[in-house]
Structure 1
Amino acid sequence: MTRVTDDRVVTTIERFFNGPDIEGQLERLSRRLPADAQILIAGGAIRNLIIEMMHGSAPPTKDIDLFIGGVGADFNLGAALSDLVTQPTDLGGLRWQPQTSPYVYDLCLLPNFIIIHTYHLAPTAQNLLAGIDLTINAIIYDYRHRTIHENGCLASIRDQIIDFNCQFLPDKCLIGYRLLLMAYKTGFRFSKATFQFLTQRLDFGTVEPLKRLMQVKQGKPLAKSIMQRLDRLCKYANYSVYLETESRKK
């Protein structure tokens, strides 16, 4: 867990979250939470900011993932946000889309984060960062304390490579989905570990549910295109051949 001090990165992130479209919404949320609660922003929104800063363009940001720390697993988030229009999410959190905001806010109690909950870890910012799936997503912004921490995220985005961040892989289907979707969205290369996972560890019993998940989440046409990419990936003789082919595309 490394504190981010790079002025360009810090300025880019703070400018975005202090902007008129977002800061007002985060303050609305903050006023409804206990004074000692943490508001931790993680993953995709920050990743996209850094990709754009480093490479000039990035996938569009549609949602912002928020983790609420400093509260117990039994904290009634729905009651705290009862005056806001929210919907339950698949993983037990809440989704909030303010009428005037272009962004959806996905909120999860930190004790209920899948890795922390499944492996009975302490609900801390450090364990949140360690439990994020991929290095390109392994960055968190503590909104109330205005601090940023990362775990290999900046280097991975700079090198345009998708690697594992978390040592736990609780669901092969979900991890496969995340890897393929991130490669599609960013155009980044796979690391040797993620390449081997996709080409050697996804058996038929995993690929079929993966295909169905992709269709549900992304629609059939896009799911077909992404799954065809997996087929092509599995035809490479080894990782070196994959890298050589990817290098020629640049």
Structure 2
Amino acid sequence: MKKIILSATALAMMAGSAFADAHSSTVRMGTEGAYPPYNFLNDAGEVDGFEREVGDELCARAELTCEWVTNEWDSIIPNLTSGNYDTIIAGMSITDERDEVIDFTQNYFPPAASAYVAKSADADLTGGVVAAQTSTIQAAHVAESGATLLEFATYDETVAAVMSGEADAVFADKDALAPTVEESGGELSFVGDDVPLGGGIGVGVRESDTELKEKLDAAIQSMKDDGSLNELIIKWFGEDAKTF
């Protein structure tokens, strides 16, 4: 569901050769590793979460050998286009702006809500200071809302800004905020109305990698058809999560 508005400079970084010609048989799966429950690093330092399970299953169904690579969010698309890994599977919403630079598979997570969280029910969401992760669709929304946008490199920093009083509220994926609210012991709560953004989450690939995209598309469709994708959504996001 996240994320980004890209500059045109990223276009210059597009890899020119097709997946089958440019890469070995190992597909490198790029993720952030800092956006639970979508993706995070577990105690062993390994990529974990909803997208790790989805990605591993997609690779198995597509008969691909895959390995996981982590990358900071704000450079995740340039590092795909320059060839540092072969996919982005990192809570990335499908948007027209991103689709100008990379390709997306069909979505593996349906369009869902973004939301505000604050310490006070009276937080000013349109005239106050609202924190959001940099280069996200949520940050773009805040910038257009009339509020003062306070951007941070990571999700955790946006929440910390609210806890410290630096920001009046944080705006992010509701599915990411839910466990944060639950673990706050009542200190944080949802405020205002939910805001639908994006077209669901897809796997990002280079525009030249049509064969890889087709394989992943087929694998995603098979998981939708047999219900296994919905099972993973419910496992990681709860019984009330939006499913296919």
Q: Same fold (TM over 0.5)?
A: no
In proportion to residue count, which structure has more helix?
1
Classify the TM-score, shorter chain: under 0.3
In proportion to residue count, which structure has more strand?
2
Between Structure 1 and Structure 2, whose CA radius of gyration is higher? 1
Higher RCO, Cα 8 Å, sep 6+: 2
